[in-house]
A and B are shown apart, each in its own frame.
Chain A
Amino acid sequence: MKKTSTSALVAGAITTALALSPVGVANAADTEKCFGVAKAGKNDCAAGPGTSCAGTSTTDAQGNAWMLVLKGTCEKIVGGSLAEK
């Protein structure tokens, strides 16, 4: 009994989806111009930009010991377990 009702339900859901589906859905490869977000490529053959000056300093500013100071939008997130802090 259970089996019949499952296959009937599934068949109903798919038949509805088929009825609603537009004819000739465009394929990914057909799209001409917009290919979505152009995410920056990360590999290149340049040295570290700008901040290289930090690299030429004689002492390494950031050794093993470091202290995190959080100064971001995390201040805008409240409630939940944070209230217990």
Chain B
Amino acid sequence: MSLLAELQRSFCDGLRTADAPDGALLEMLQDDDLARQRFQVYRNNFIVLNGDALADMFPVVKRLVGDEAFRMLATAYVRQHPPRDRTLLLYGDLFADFLQTIPELSGLPYLTDVARLEFTWTAAYHAADAFPLQPDQLQNLSEEAFAKLQLRVHPSLQLLASDFPIHRIWSVNQSDDQDELISLDEGACRLIVVRPDNEVQVRVVSEGEFEFVRQLMASATIGEAFEATNQTDPQFDLGQFFSRHLFDGTFCAM
């Protein structure tokens, strides 16, 4: 192995380990009695900069567990899952799963889903733009043709279901001064996260709306999706759903 490769790998090992850096690495540094501390600056930067990116991605998780606990979790995550992308825009894709593995968090069963919602929000924020479906694209179709249409959902759109009232938890924890009591007895929620234009929207939806969009995303035609949805939620009101969302950017141009 070349000296450059050896040195860079050894440097990376030293950045990532929670233990003291390897003696062989310190041997490669000019020794003015401060070699260890000098290397520690890089170790710290690696943990702090990537940990800050997580804090930015998961502000609600941070509020829920507190700053100190979040910093510890972030540090452990950075070491376990160092960034795989050239950018930090979507760093933290495995954070929700990671939280599930931490025994001390077992008393906060909703935390993983809250983290998923926060990641989904940022993913929608950076997702591709798309022109919304326009009324004139549907104007000249026959009644028969409507049911056979395949609608394209906006590229930012994602579905999220949780057994916990994560939308309430997420909403009231948007600022630091949250002091509302939330009961987990409020129960499950289903969400659609989408950025039709500039603003990311987190919508609480019914079982039927959720299922209908899920079917459309799986390439069902409107007719097929509607029929499948009726099986799970006979209350689903297609007229109301389309009146609100057919042309609001939830769907994009065909």
Residue pair A76, B182 in contact (C-beta under 8 Å): yes
Expressed in whole angstroms, the Cα–Cα distance for A78 and B165 within the complex equals: 11
Within 8 A of A (CB), among B157-212: 164, 169, 173, 178-185, 195-200
Expressed in whole angstroms, the Cα–Cα distance for A25 and B19 within the complex equals: 59
Closest to B45 in A: A48
Query: Which of A14, A20, A40, A58 contacts B40, CB < 8 Å?
Result: A58
Which of A3, A11, A78 has the largest count of B CB atoms less than 10 A from its CB?
Answer: A11
Query: Which of A54, A58, A67, A85 contacts B44, CB < 8 Å?
Result: A54
Name the distance in Å between A77's Cβ and chain B's nearest Cβ: 5
Name the distance in Å between B31's Cβ and chain A's nearest Cβ: 15
Q: Mark B141-168, 1 if CB is under 8 A from A, else 0.
A: 0011011100000000000000010000
| Majority secondary structure, A binding face | loop
Residue pair B65, A80 in contact (C-beta under 8 Å): no
Query: Which of A14, A28, A52, A82 contacts B198, CB < 8 Å?
Result: A28
Query: Which of B64, B87, B164 contacts A74, CB < 8 Å?
Result: B64
Residue pair A52, B41 in contact (C-beta under 8 Å): yes
Binds A, one of B1-9, B22-30, B48-56: B48-56
Given contacts A14-B246, A55-B45, A72-B63, contact A31 B135 (CB under 8 A): no
B120 at the interface (CB under 8 A from A): no
Residue pair A76, B180 in contact (C-beta under 8 Å): yes
Within 8 A of A (CB), among B28-70: 36-37, 40-45, 47-49, 52-53, 56, 62-70
Residue pair B147, A7 in contact (C-beta under 8 Å): yes
Query: Which of B20, B104, B198 contacts A35, CB < 8 Å?
Result: B198
Contacting residues, chain B, for A58 (C-beta < 8 A): 36-37, 40
Residue pair B53, A51 in contact (C-beta under 8 Å): no
A1 at the interface (CB under 8 A from B): no
Expressed in whole angstroms, the Cα–Cα distance for A28 and B252 within the complex equals: 11
Given contacts A52-B48, A62-B75, A69-B69, contact A81 B104 (CB under 8 A): no
Expressed in whole angstroms, the Cα–Cα distance for A71 and B76 within the complex equals: 18
Expressed in whole angstroms, the Cα–Cα distance for A79 and B182 within the complex equals: 8
Residue pair A48, B198 in contact (C-beta under 8 Å): no
Residue pair A14, B138 in contact (C-beta under 8 Å): yes
Name the distance in Å between B99's Cβ and chain A's nearest Cβ: 11
Given contacts A10-B226, A14-B246, A82-B184, contact A74 B108 (CB under 8 A): yes
Contacting residues, chain A, for B239 (C-beta < 8 A): 12-13, 16-17
Contacting residues, chain B, for A27 (C-beta < 8 A): 131-132
B122 at the interface (CB under 8 A from A): yes
Name the distance in Å between B164's Cβ and chain A's nearest Cβ: 7
Add 7 more A-B contacts to A2-B227, A14-B146, A74-B64 (CB < 8 A): A9-B238, A10-B222, A18-B135, A37-B200, A51-B48, A55-B42, A80-B184
Q: Would you list 17 pairs from A and B whose C-beta atoms are within 8 A, ordered by A residue? A: A7-B143, A10-B146, A13-B238, A18-B138, A21-B247, A28-B249, A37-B200, A42-B91, A48-B45, A48-B48, A49-B52, A66-B72, A68-B69, A71-B67, A72-B62, A73-B179, A77-B182
